[in-house]
Amino acid sequence: MAGRLEGKVAIITGAARGQGADEARAFVAEGAKVVLTDVLPEVHSVAAELGDAAVALDHDVTDEAQWGVVVKTALDRFGKLDVLVNNAGIFRPGTMLETTKEQFVAHTNVNQLGVFLGMKAAAPAMIANGSGSIVNIGSGAGQRGYPGIFAYLASKWAVTGMTKAVARELAPHKIRVNSVHPGLIATPMIAGPNDQAALAELAATVPLGRTGITADVVEVVIHLASDKSSYSTGSEFTMDGGTGL
């Protein structure tokens, strides 16, 4: 039986580890061809694991010229572009008073500017293709206020607004744009081996009683990338175990 993404070509950023790597694996398993990008060299190992259905590129999402190379690679290697998953992001905790200008700008550059540049680079290829799906990875922090993560929250809140604006702009071209908002997901970006005790304490505050896993997010991303979600655009999809209730 054909996969849910059979014949699709996708770009997934931040695909060297964690959620992005698992998205790439799942996309290929569902029949897609994927361009994986990251600043971390491990992205090449993930692509090698996936064989001819994947290619990896070193990619700084804040560099507009590099985005041009990424889209061109998708077109040259696989012939078209159907899906963009703006997954790359950084997370550094800190209150507003603790946050330096440099820390704030770093979050804005990767988490917000990177999403804008990705959408701008991918849209012309999708317009030429006659359809497309853009999935922007936001955060539960991009839907409500939380203390202690000021710069991250600000950048993810911007992703929510950009998604809705671009969904309106690209709808006439049959391009859908949605945002996905994970809560506490156990990935290397959130918690390393030495942070497990703190992660367990946070998990106890989640109504469903556990942290999320990457599969919780990946399933929603696949749905949005597929034709099964053809009437969804400009929407927010939250998976936070009820934290925002």
pLDDT per residue as tens, the chain (245 positions): 789 999 999 999 999 999 999 999 999 999 999 999 999 999 999 999 999 999 999 999 999 999 999 999 999 999 999 999 999 999 999 999 999 999 999 999 999 999 999 999 999 999 999 999 999 999 988 888 888 999 999 999 999 999 999 999 999 999 999 999 998 887 766 655 556 676 777 778 888 988 888 999 999 999 999 999 999 999 999 988 998 77
- The number of distinct structural domains making up the chain is 1
Q: Is position 144 within any domain?
A: yes
Q: Is position 141 within any domain?
A: yes
Decide: helix, strand or coil at residue 179. Answer: strand
Domain, as residue range, for 208: 9-238
pTM of this structure? 0.93
Q: Is position 4 within any domain?
A: no
Q: Is position 1 within any domain?
A: no
Phi, psi torsion values for 174, nearest 5 degrees: 65, 30
Do you know the residue count of the chain? 245
| Residue 17 CB coordination number (10 Å) | 18
Phi, psi torsion values for 114, nearest 5 degrees: -60, -40
Q: Is position 25 within any domain?
A: yes
Domain containing 58 — which CATH number?
A: 3.40.50.720
What is the token pair recorded at 79? 């012939």
Q: Is position 245 within any domain?
A: no
For 76, residues 6+ apart whose C-beta sits below 8 A from its C-beta are: none
Gyration radius (Cα) of the chain, Å: 17
Decide: helix, strand or coil at residue 224. Answer: helix
Residues catalogued as catalytic = 152
Decide: helix, strand or coil at residue 40. Answer: coil
